[in-house]
Chain A
Amino acid sequence: KAGVTQTPRYLIKTRGQQVTLSCSPISGHRSVSWYQQTPGQGLQFLFEYFSETQRNKGNFPGRFSGRQFSNSRSEMNVSTLELGDSALYLCASSPHSEAFVFFGQGTRLTVV
């Protein structure tokens, strides 16, 4: 089975722009979660989707949004980018609510 695939791996954007990151979960996995990793804040939970519905949301501003499609693929969008949004964004998938979670390699976003 292919693992969790995140695209692109690296991205450079300018302040004020918006960005969309993509995550393809492991085949058969219906839950997709997103995390932000920064040197200062560590790993922080953004949100989790299950069967196209957002089930849980972390403490991030509304500029951060996501969605999940019927094939379980997920996208994360950040609007009006700020320098502080520079981070490694990790996606994780699991088959259902149990804790069998697998992480992708992440998308490194740099905001300049």
Chain B
Amino acid sequence: AQSVTQLGSHVSVSEGALVLLRCNYSSSVPPYLFWYVQYPNQGLQLLLKYTTGATLVKGINGFEAEFKKSETSFHLTKPSAHMSDAAEYFCAVYLNGNQFYFGTGTSLTVIP
């Protein structure tokens, strides 16, 4: 069985503060892990992904995530939040070669 859990459906941070969005997965095999961002009325834009190799993955817009196998986690971070980071963020596991399992999403609000 496989699933993705995103802790916190809504997260608010002040502009310039650290962003931390949590994602835990359950998978019987090593997964591919992704973070996507979605702006209103838009599709999903890939922020970063982990497939193999280095466990700290850097993505676009200053985001990064670390794959921790022992904790089955893939938390997304950004050192300093910007107003343009306000969006919905989805963690996803890609398994079986052709299917994503998405978390329920975390809405990020950035307070000026």
Contacts and interface: CB of A to CB of B under 8 A. Distances in A.
Interface of A: 4, 6, 31, 33, 35, 42-45, 48, 50, 55-56, 58, 90, 92, 97-99, 101-106, 108
Interface in B43-66: 43-46, 49, 51
B49 A99 contact: yes
Q: Which secondary structure dominates where chain B touches chain A? A: strand
A80 B36 CA distance: 32
Category for how many chain B residues contact A: 20 to 34
Nearest to A107: B43
A44 B42 CA distance: 16
Contact of A101 (B96, B100, B105): B100
A4 B45 CA distance: 11
Contact of B94 (A44, A58, A99, A104): A99
Nearest to B92: A43
Given A43-B100, A43-B102, A99-B34, 4 more contacts: A45-B99, A99-B49, A102-B46, A103-B45
